[in-house]
Amino acid sequence: MLEKLKSNLSMKIIISGGGTGGHIYPAIAIADALKRRDPLIDILFVGARGRMEMEKVPAAGYPIEGLWISGLQRKLTWSNLMFPFKVAHSMWRCRSIIRIFKPDVVVGVGGYASGPLVHVASRMGIPSVLQEQNSYPGITNKMLAGKASKICVAYPGMEKYFPADKILFTGNPMRSQLGTPTSRRDAAEMFGLDPEKKTILAVGGSLGARTINETIQKSYDQISDRQDIQVLWQIGKLYATQNLDSPVARLGNVRPFVFIDRMDMAYALADVVMARAGAMTISELCLTGKASVLVPSPYVAEDHQTHNAMSLVQLHAARLVPDAEAPAKAFTEALRLMDHPEERAQLETESRKLGRPHAADEIAEIIIHSVQSGKRS
Residue-level pLDDT at 182? 83
Secondary structure, 3-state, the chain: CHHHHCCCCCCEEEEECCCCHHHHHHHHHHHHHHHHHCCCCEEEEEEECCCCHHHHHHHCCCCEEEECCCCCCCCCCHHHHHHHHHHHHHHHHHHHHHHHHCCCEEEECCCCCHHHHHHHHHHCCCCEEEEECCCCCCHHHHHHHHHCCEEEECCCCHHHCCCHHHEEECCCCCCHHHHCCCCHHHHHHHHCCCCCCEEEEEECCCCCCHHHHHHHHCCHHHHHHCCCEEEEEECCHHHHHHHCCCCHHHCCCEEEECCCCCHHHHHHHCCEEEECCCHHHHHHHHHHCCEEEECCCCCCHHHHHHHHHHHHHCCCCCEECCHHHHHHHHHHHHHHHHCCHHHHHHHHHHHHHCCCCCHHHHHHHHHHHHHHHHHHC
**Residue 89's pLDDT is what?**
87
Domain boundaries, the chain: 2-174+357-376, 177-353
- Look at residue 3 in the predicted model and tell me its pLDDT: 46
* pLDDT value of position 80: 59
> Which portions of the chain are predicted below pLDDT 50?
3-9
Which CATH number applies to 177-353? 3.40.50.2000
pLDDT of residue 277: 95
pLDDT of amino acid 8: 42
Homologous superfamily (CATH) of 2-174+357-376 is: Glycogen Phosphorylase B; (3.40.50.2000)
Same fold, 2-174+357-376 and 177-353: yes
